[in-house]
Structure 1
């Protein structure tokens, strides 16, 4: 038979009292909370009502700031693009396209141009709003009124006049697909380093130019002159002279001179494949600038 000592009984009594006091405190606290506003002065009550109204307005404003309204995707700004989760490169593609006074006419064309993901399109394409005459092409006056001012994304150019890439200026380069001011100046700067381009393939090594832009540049330009092309003698140039060549650095220049001193003069560009750390992916282009 279980027996308790006096100490056990005393402990149990203290526990029961503690539970009772705790329940009384909770009851008092809840009643105090409910009657707090009863003790307020009229001014304090008015202030509390005003504060509640301000809080409600803040919540409504927050909801409105996150709400997305229908918009024309052709006019997405840098800020709006950032808010929608577009990358800087995707926004730039759209802006460069618009600089050519061209527009996208559908969600599919927008995705093809910018490269946004399918998930992005599911979230935001439902808000795209194009002009009525774009979405309703059955209108009788559609072509006569808008065809020239709102060009179709994949509209083919009637005739392309091929120009010399080594003589093209900034304005002429900007006519190429997705080539804006920055990329046009970058192409000219790269051309100046070599004196002249020796191959259209050199465009592929300029950072920031997309494959689509390069394809269009190849349609509009060719290498037709090379009078300013700066050649370099691979067998007599010093390390300092070699490292000035745009595709070389100090390490590559040093390795070329070291290999040359140990094995004799280079006979052809193929001999350069034996040089340590040589940029083999650019060998065909580099060969066009070399003298033996």
Structure 2
């Protein structure tokens, strides 16, 4: 009981402190009651506020544009699934392009791109300025051979006397044939000089890059009139070392030729060599230049 009572017994110093604390509380309450602390209306410059909001909108727009994926010039033939998705194409449109490319076909214009993919005009107008086609598509070089000759000049065969000797023809003369430019004419002359002259017209097949139709046009204008002299080898008597000196015949083929020669009791024609195992059949016309039956 005395303990409970001790909680309500204060010293003089404590009572003065309590009295002071109550006074302060009452004073603060009175001050709050008699004074209005409501916020005063702050004047707003609506013109400046509008300018500020406009500037913030511009900065926000710039930030949005900066976050968008940037599009750089590209060849539309190589659009991948991801690239097409970033451009805004649907999966169906992308697949149409991929299927078209699987056929080893190429898109060479904006119009053809839309025909293949069937994209909308709005999307096409958005992405087509970034299309970058190869130089040979956008700026094709004019065919220069037309200024040298006409079709009748090289497609109509001439007589043997009218033709120019292929072993003495110059590069500039060869360029008069449709389909022969500076590179091909120099390549023919270089091959001829390396072989110390042509043996026959068929050796034009050995010049890299010449197509059959171009070779035909060349032989309509040129032919070998002074063939290089060679010592032909008898296919029925040649040794292995003699056979391997012939173009396109290696030791294995030479061995097979000699075995077949024994089994056949000699070859009756050069064409029978095509039955020999491993023989380069496609080069028979070249090989025949170096062989004889006897």
- TM-score scaled by structure 1? 0.46
**Radius of gyration: which is bigger?**
2
- TM-score scaled by structure 2? 0.46
